[in-house]
Copies of this chain bind each other. A is one copy, B any other.
Amino acid sequence: MAGEGWNTAVTSIAPNQIRVRGYRIDELMGTVPFGSAVYLILRGELPEPAVGRVVEAMLVASIDHGVTPPSTLSVRNAASTGAPLNACLAAGALAVNRHHGGAVEDCMRLLARGAALLAGGASAAQAATQLVGDEKAAGRRLPGWGHRVHSDDPRSRRLLELARDAGVAGAHVAVAEAIVGELAKGGKQLPLNVDGAIAALLADLGFAPELANGFFILARTAGWMAHVAEELAREKPMRRIDQGAASYDGAAPRNLP
């Protein structure tokens, strides 16, 4: 028996013609940046160029964070046993969950509640007070503020700056920043971390929270590729990997030309 008919609106394929959301892929190539193509395929429309640049900046921000993230351990550990590259990358994706990378999704849901309060007439400060109070009362940790290494995450600061320049910072960014102020009132210096900044931007750009960890996986795949290549080039197979025992011996600090 033949399977049931069904439809797709992502990409149409005909001999010598591939169209993503209606646009010829060969026309997109070399014309729009990858970040805009990502936006297009997920949202159905091309973004303003400034928005495409914000998406690219989010991808660059997520490209790597050294050898300590658990997903990178998973990737290197798989490589060390002899796994092919695609299996190493899959192992990395499987370690991106609620407690690693997942804060973006949780934060998007929190900020959506804040944006709803703004839509109902509250100020960002009022929304922040209510959200922080609600989360505290429920015994939940705020997902997107504070970092175990960075007290002032350079990625968040830069992302918000780019978003403002591009004119895409909206209600979610406003609430995210107001929460920093609200936390400071309680004596806690918990700045927005990169998860929180990406959450605020993805939400202001209109992405669904369910997609959040996909952006992280997409961007980090490049970093994971570099870690697999390095593991194979520099280490013996089947080593016991202690993340805390790693030192950096790469390029010295340098500035863009």
Contacts and interface: CB of A to CB of B under 8 A. Distances in A.
Interface of A: 1-13, 15-35, 37-38, 41-42, 44, 46, 53-54, 56-57, 59-61, 63-68, 70-71, 73-74, 77-78, 80-91, 93-102, 149-155, 157-159, 161-162, 208, 210-211, 213-214, 217-219, 221-230, 232, 234-235, 237-257
A248 B8 contact: yes
A242 B4 contact: yes
Contacts of A57: 29-30
B85 A94 contact: no
Query: Oligomeric state, in number of copies?
Result: 4
Nearest to A191: B16
B97 A250 contact: no
Main secondary structure of the interface of A (DSSP, over half): mixed
A94 B98 contact: no
Contacts of A94: 78, 83, 86-88, 90-91, 94
Nearest to A96: B86
Nearest to A163: B30
A6 to B, nearest CB: 5
B241 A85 contact: no
Contacts of A85: 210-211, 213-214
Contacts of A74: 74, 77-78, 91
B98 A249 contact: no
Contacts of A251: 9, 21-22, 44
